[in-house]
């Protein structure tokens, strides 16, 4: 696991996040660390879910603060479950991915081809691959779930919010705009989000949850993280140092000339106030680590346990034999209904999510934040 110091985080260029390094190739149902913003949980009369959140860097590995997770949701005789694929870390040895290739590139109309082909093409569509971006947040205000205020959680980034912060953190060179550290712990921004339900359609009631939409508005001023109880991370003296730094760095953000910006940053970095802030940041990072979960450990790919490998291998073998794994007779003595606590923990560590029912071919659900 990568580690970093205050020199890495203070003034960290948000355009250097790993998520921006490679072309886009592009669950976690029941995970208590996932922040869910369902319109059905709204306390507003209009049914809109409103909250204020702060997206933050991963304090354990700042460069990997946004996880682009690739997973497979598969169905066997024991029900639905989801596993995070090694494709998440650009490792194409994932056995499910390789099984899909065997089927997808098989002769059209053949038994194997039908296993992967879409249903409207005469196939079974047994491979259900998902893509999602996850980020760490602090919930600043949420009247719908007030018990979550102050907590540090993970959030599945809706496309509209991703686009908004992407434009701020990694602006195009042609725009000549500075990269704004939206996710910085002490001088980033907060986001007011509104999650609106889809239309009421008696003929297609599923549209209410499938066609929800999101809007977000960044705060004008900088917003600092707090302790989970809402108390400030900094004392009055430290806050004054931060305020002095913010007043200087804001001028950099407004400067259009990249050369001038670079010269301004050099001067700020050499400033005595900035040297003081670096020392303060050492304590801030260590403090946040105490109550912030590590997104890489929880949502990036982790090697599957032997039990998960065995279950996936059996599913793949049935697929390659031309069978539907969900219709095969179970030969296990314990089903998911009687899974032990220790086994459930192992599944969690292996990035496996057991699903109550099929969400296969649900089309358009990748953008849902739950």
Q: How confident is the model at residue 4 (pLDDT cuts 50, 70, 90)?
A: low
Say what the pLDDT of residue 7 is: 59
For the record, the structure tokens of 225 come out as 């993280």
- At a CB cut-off of 8 Å and minimum separation 6, what does 133 contact? 19, 66, 67, 68, 69, 156, 157, 162
Specify the 3-state DSSP secondary structure of 299. Answer: helix
Angle at alpha carbon of residue 30, lines to 296 and 141, rounded to 5°: 75
Flag whether pLDDT at 252 surpasses 70.
yes
Average pLDDT over residues 235-239: 98
Looking at the domain 6-365, which fold is it? Replication Fork Single-Stranded DNA Binding Protein (3.90.198)
| DSSP bridge partners of 213 | 196
Flag whether pLDDT at 121 surpasses 90.
yes
Give residue-wise pLDDT tens across range 59-118: 999 999 999 999 999 999 999 999 999 999 999 999 999 999 999 999 999 999 999 999
CA distance 302 to 350: 6
Instruction: Tell me the domain boundaries of the chain.
Output: 6-365
Residue labelled with tokens 């259009």 = 256
Q: What is the DSSP string of 58-83?
A: -TT-GGG-EEEEEEEEEEETTEEEEE
Residue labelled with tokens 């886009």 = 24
Share the mean pLDDT of the chain: 86
Say what the pLDDT of residue 168 is: 95
Overall pTM surpassing 0.75 (yes/no)? yes
CA distance 173 to 192: 28
For the record, the structure tokens of 289 come out as 């680590």
Say what the pLDDT of residue 201 is: 87
Say what the pLDDT of residue 21 is: 61
- At a CB cut-off of 8 Å and minimum separation 6, what does 224 contact? 185, 186, 187, 232, 233, 234, 242
Tell me the angle at which helices 306-320 and 341-349 cross, rounded to the nearest 10 degrees.
Answer: 70
């Amino acid at each position: 696991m990568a580690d970093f110091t205050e020199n890495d985080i203070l003034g960290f260029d948000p355009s250097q996040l790993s998520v921006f390094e490679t072309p886009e190739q592009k669950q976690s149902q029941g995970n208590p660390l996932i922040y869910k913003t369902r319109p059905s949980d709204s306390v507003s009369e209009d049914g809109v879910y409103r909250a204020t959140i702060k997206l933050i860097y991963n304090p354990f590995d700042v460069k990997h603060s946004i996880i682009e997770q690739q997973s497979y949701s598969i169905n066997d005789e024991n029900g639905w479950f989801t596993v995070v694929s090694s494709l998440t870390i650009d490792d194409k040895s994932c056995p499910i991915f390789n099984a899909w290739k065997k089927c997808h590139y098989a002769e059209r109309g053949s038994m194997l081809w039908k296993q992967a082909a879409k249903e409207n093409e005469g196939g079974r569509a047994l491979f259900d691959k998902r893509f999602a971006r996850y980020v760490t947040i602090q919930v600043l205000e949420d009247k719908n779930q007030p018990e979550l205020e102050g907590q540090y959680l993970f959030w599945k980034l809706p496309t509209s919010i991703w686009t908004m912060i992407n434009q701020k953190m990694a602006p195009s060179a042609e725009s000549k705009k500075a990269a704004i550290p939206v996710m910085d712990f002490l001088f980033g921004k907060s986001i007011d989000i509104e999650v609106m339900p889809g239309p009421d359609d008696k003929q297609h009631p599923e549209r209410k949850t499938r066609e929800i939409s999101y809007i977000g508005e960044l705060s004008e001023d900088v917003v600092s993280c707090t302790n989970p109880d809402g108390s400030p991370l900094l004392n009055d003296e430290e806050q004054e140092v931060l305020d002095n730094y913010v007043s200087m760095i804001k001028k950099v953000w407004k400067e259009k000339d990249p050369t001038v910006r670079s010269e301004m940053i050099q001067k700020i970095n050499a400033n005595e106030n900035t040297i003081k802030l670096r020392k303060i940041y050492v304590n801030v990072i260590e403090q946040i680590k105490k109550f912030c979960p590590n997104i890489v450990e929880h949502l990036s790919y982790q090697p599957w346990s032997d039990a998960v490998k065995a279950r996936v291998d059996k599913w793949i073998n049935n697929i390659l034999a031309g069978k539907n794994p969900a219709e095969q007779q179970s030969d296990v003595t314990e089903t998911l209904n009687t899974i032990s606590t220790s086994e459930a923990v192992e599944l969690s560590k292996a990035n496996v999510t057991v699903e109550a029912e099929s969400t296969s071919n649900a089309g358009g659900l990748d953008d849902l934040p739950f």
